[in-house]
Chain A
Amino acid sequence: MRYNRSISLVTLGIILLSFVFAEKKKKIKVWMIGDSTMASYEASRAPLAGWGMPFVYFFDSTVTVDNRARGGRSTRTFISEGRWQPIADSMQEGDYVLIQFGHNDEAKEERYKDRYTPVPDYKTNLIRFITETKNKKANPVIITPVTRMRFDKNGIQQETHKEYTAAAWEVGKEYNIPVIDLDTKSRELLQQLGPDYSKLLFMQLDSMAHPNYPAGQKDNTHFNDYGARIIAQLVLAEIKELQLELAERIVKPPVKK
């Protein structure tokens, strides 16, 4: 009897242990909402790339990245075109929403009035994204808009989103939401590379260099394949720095012999 009891205790222990080991991380989704600098592109537009494209390769099999970012969208048009609601509806507990807007919200020129969003509205829209995300017990992360390349004559990289980056920070602080200051991080990177070599990150092509852009390209906003990956790495570094639970889901390479 006593013997039997110890056997059943051992068995019970084994069963419990097997539960501990078998406990798999819940599968989650990382939703990406933002503009052209984050978006995915077809091969016909290569080497144009948004940083969401290399970003998907950073995570293990418990993470599905759903990149809903679209070129030319501001917080306002992302909502008005019905791009936000389906995300808010299908989001699950534990998911993440990475939010990076600003490039188009801040476009004051007449020709961009379809997308322009004044700062107060920009903040209201960000607050809507984070509130509705939190209501679903998912995790919003605010990302300040990645910098454009603009060096002054002394080779100093300029701030290109001042107002909107500040506004994103204010919302993050007020609502106690993690903020990835991609604007600052990317400016530091460009400063380090300098005016000549920073071009390597952007859609800068001589004419005839790439058949997709026969006339060449001189773009200081949109990234190429390389720039997109370098920016994605900056975002990943901040995810680790902020110690988000998402950092525990970064892919681990097989142990080498």
Chain B
Amino acid sequence: MKNTILFFGSIFLLSFAMVEKKKIKIFLAGDSTIAIKDTKAFPETGWGMPFVQFWDSTVTVVNKAKNGRSTKTFLSEGLWKSIMDEAKEGDYVIIQFGHNDESVEKKERYSTPDTFKMNLNRFIKETREKKATPILFTPVSRRKFDKDGKAVATHEQYSALVREVAKETGVLFIDLDEKSKALYQQFGPEHSKLLFLQLQPGEHPNYPEGKNDNTHFNELGARMIAQIVLKELRNLDCGLTERIIVREVKK
């Protein structure tokens, strides 16, 4: 009798342990450095593309990032609203902007520092109101070296603004600008080109004239950045770590 109780008792407890994790979504809000590319733009790759490979079946990554978007146009085009309409309690919203907000010469996307901060604050506030978790990123660095071979800052002003917002709101924060710059430094001025959309004329049919781009990633760069993001998310210990896909260690 006692044994039977023990037996059923442990099954009862086990069933709790095995209860499935709630399904969640990770939304990606940002620009071309994250976005999903058309095949006709390959090998250009946004870091949101390899990022989807990292998660178990309880996670759906919803990549809403779009080429050329600033916080301002992400809002005005209704992209932000589409995230808020879909976001539920327990979801995550990764926010990475700056490349287009800071482009003074492109008036339609440019955001003043004040507007930029205001928009980021709005993203954080509205995400929290949905009982979802915002994670704020500084914009991933462009590739730029000085004459001594030192990787230099490419978003100085706008990354500083993101850091201010992070401090003021206490939001979860990843300084992707710094981390990516450190990666380029590790590769050096010459080999860091291997991470970007850099092609000789005729190498790839999509770019017959070749390409010399120090902002947009190829598949290697996108994956390296995504791997840095994953590492930093583990460090934040924000409830996502236990949803990283677990594979058997192969012999």
Contact = CB atoms under 8 A, between A and B. Distances in A.
A110 B216 CA distance: 47
B143 to A, nearest CB: 16
Interface stretch (B20-28, B116-124, B217-225): B217-225
Contacts, number: 75
Interface stretch (A111-119, A148-156, A180-188, A208-216): A208-216
B113 interface: no
A46 B219 CA distance: 12
A250 B220 CA distance: 24
Contacts of A233: 203-204
Given A209-B231, A212-B247, A252-B208, 14 more contacts: A46-B53, A54-B42, A57-B205, A57-B206, A200-B194, A210-B223, A215-B250, A224-B223, A226-B194, A226-B218, A226-B219, A237-B203, A252-B205, A253-B205
B208 A253 contact: yes
A226 B245 contact: no
Nearest to B194: A200
Interface in A179-227: 197, 200, 208-215, 224-226
A103 B40 CA distance: 32
B246 A226 contact: no
Q: 3 closest A-B pairs (Cβ-Cβ)?
A: A226-B220, A225-B219, A215-B249
B145 interface: no
Nearest to B220: A226
**B: contact size bracket:** 20 to 34
B182 to A, nearest CB: 15
A237 B203 CA distance: 7
Contacts of A208: 231
Nearest to A56: B39
A211 B244 contact: yes
B202 interface: yes
Contacts of A43: 53
Interface string B199-243: 000111111100000000011100100010011000000000000
Contacts of B250: 213, 215
A122 B247 CA distance: 37
B43 A54 contact: yes
5 contacts: A47-B223, A57-B42, A58-B204, A212-B53, A229-B43
A211 B247 contact: yes
Nearest to B245: A211
Given A57-B42, A211-B245, A251 B50 contact: no
Contacts of A44: 247
A226 B43 CA distance: 9
